Amino acid sequence: MSKLGERAAPAAISDAVQQQAAEWLTMLMSGEMNETEQAAWQRWRGADPEHERAWQHIEAVSQRYKGVYADGAQRTAAAQALASAGPPASGKRRQLLAWLGVAAGGGLLAAQTNAWDGARSLRADYRTATGERRDVALADGSVLSLNTGSAVNVRFDARRRLIELLAGEILVTSGQGAGSDAPLVVATREGLVRALGTRFSVRQQDGVSSVDVFESAVEIRPRDGDGAPLRLAAGRGVAFSRQAPGAPHAIDAYADAWSRGQLIVDDVTLGDFLADLARYRPGIIHCAPEVAQLRLSGVFPLADTARILNMLPNSLPVQVRSRTAYWVTVEPVP
């Protein structure tokens, strides 16, 4: 029990909200936000009191370091310095990224790597917005499919074919054209995935990368691992950290359905389904705990996520409530 007169410590800001705030800050600092994106940022702030607390913390730190956003759209002096600084190893950039990572209600507002990767994603060779998917034909005949909210850099030369996954998820179908004798490698924050004449997907998540192999095999080498690379055969998937891979597992038969514009599920919980669906639409989908364990199966078109949500009451005892287009709650029928 706190003593009389003591001020209660502020509630901790969740990791998810910290990450969202960091992403908005990165976009603001890029100087490339249009009016629609600025309006979405303002809606995010108003969607939940925790969002506004996270942003008020950013502004308080900005005031402290004399870097204030005048109208939420212009870059500050700190942002301009960040945009013009050198690579992340430079002292100036380290200081600015440390500024972005100040404590927020007991947690870090944004990890340095996330802030840096977010800025790089805005300038990536290929990227997709939330809900967008894209196929890219590469110089060697390979086909690169980008899932929602993804960003990659492509660097091909005589020695290697390198695809750097900065954010999101990609499906790679390796080609046999000119230059295909060079190793084809996907780099993530956690390590390297080398194709062995194959079709496979790689997803960048927070602190972990995951791989699913659909044809042939791949080799996975964690960045800080010291053992032999893991060979992963078709039909298997694995998640890996910078230190080591986890235990390989059988992949879902529909794991690549997103590349065809579909979300296919077979007896999954509603909570897991909505968490996956949320990747394909801006804003937040909140699933009430009372209905999170309901199960469903089906084939859903990703081109119309609103239609998917509106169809749920037809098969489950739920109702879908929309506070705004960016805040949806799925809850029990009264």
pLDDT of residue 180: 67
What pLDDT is recorded for position 97? 38
Secondary element (H or E) of residue 80: helix 77-84
How is the chain split among helix, strand and coil, in percent rounded to 5? 30, 30, 40
Over the chain (334 residues), the average pLDDT of each successive run of 10 is 47 68 68 74 86 78 45 38 35 37 38 50 85 94 95 90 95 80 92 94 94 97 91 97 96 94 95 95 91 96 94 96 86 94
| Alpha-carbon gap, residue 255 to 169, rounded angstroms | 12
Q: What is the pLDDT of residue 321?
A: 93
Instruction: Read off the pTM.
Output: 0.67
CATH T-level fold of 261-332:
Phage tail protein beta-alpha-beta fold (3.55.50)
Q: What pLDDT was estimated at residue 2?
A: 43
CA pair distance 197, 219, nearest whole angstrom: 11
Residue 154 and residue 163: Cα distance in Å, rounded? 5
Contact in structure between 295 and 269 (CB atoms under 8 Å): yes
Dig out the tokens for 317 from the structure.
Answer: 């005892």
Give 165-208 as a DSSP string.
EEEEEEEEE---STTTTSPEEEE-SSEEEEESS-EEEEEE-SS-
The DSSP output letter for 229 is P
**Cβ contacts of 29 within 8 Å, gap of 6 or more:** 75, 76, 79, 82, 83, 119
Protein fold of 126-250: Jelly Rolls (2.60.120)
Cβ count near 166 (within 10 Å) = 24
Q: Which two tokens stand for residue 140?
A: 């060697």
Each domain of the chain, given as residue ranges in start order, spans 15-122, 126-250, 261-332
